[in-house]
């Protein structure tokens, strides 16, 4: 039987990839067993409340987006797309505001 990712599994994978982590590194940070992560990302299982708590404890900025597709940047609740945009706009050292320190 072929499994497809669930929406929540896809979101968890998107967080992991946005943070530029392989599965093992993500599991090491969150304390989630690697096979559990694989099963969730591949749609074999839905994540338990315990798994969701572990992810949001390490990545609280994604909590609202992960749970209900909402973001409020003003209070630090973002999505991986917002984080990717922020990363692409990081100062390079040649920006006009840079002091060259």
Residue 58 within any structural domain of the chain: yes
Q: What residues make up the domain containing 67?
A: 7-79
Residue 24 within any structural domain of the chain: yes
Q: What is the CATH number of the domain that holds 70?
A: 1.10.260.40
Token pair of 71 as six digits: 């973001």
Query: How many domains does one find in the chain?
Result: 1
Asked whether residue 88 carries a pLDDT value surpassing 70, the answer given is yes
In this predicted model, what pLDDT tens digit does every residue of 3-12 receive, in sequence order? 455 799 999 9
Residue 75 within any structural domain of the chain: yes
pLDDT-based confidence at residue 90 (cuts at 50, 70, 90):
confident
Residue 93 within any structural domain of the chain: no
Residue 9 and residue 43 in contact, taking contact as beta carbons nearer than 8 Å? yes
pTM across the whole model: 0.81
Residue 37 within any structural domain of the chain: yes
Neighbours of 38 (CB within 10 A): 14
């Amino acid at each position: 039987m072929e499994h497809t990712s669930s929406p929540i599994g896809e979101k968890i994978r998107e967080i992991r990839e946005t943070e530029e982590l392989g599965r093992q590194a993500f599991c090491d940070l969150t304390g989630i067993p690697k096979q559990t992560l694989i099963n969730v990302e591949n749609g074999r299982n839905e994540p338990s409340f315990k798994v969701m708590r572990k992810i949001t404890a390490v990545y609280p900025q994604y909590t609202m987006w992960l749970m209900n597709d909402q973001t409020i940047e003003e209070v630090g609740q973002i999505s991986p797309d917002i984080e990717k945009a922020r990363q692409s706009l990081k100062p390079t050292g040649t920006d006009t505001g840079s002091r060259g320190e």
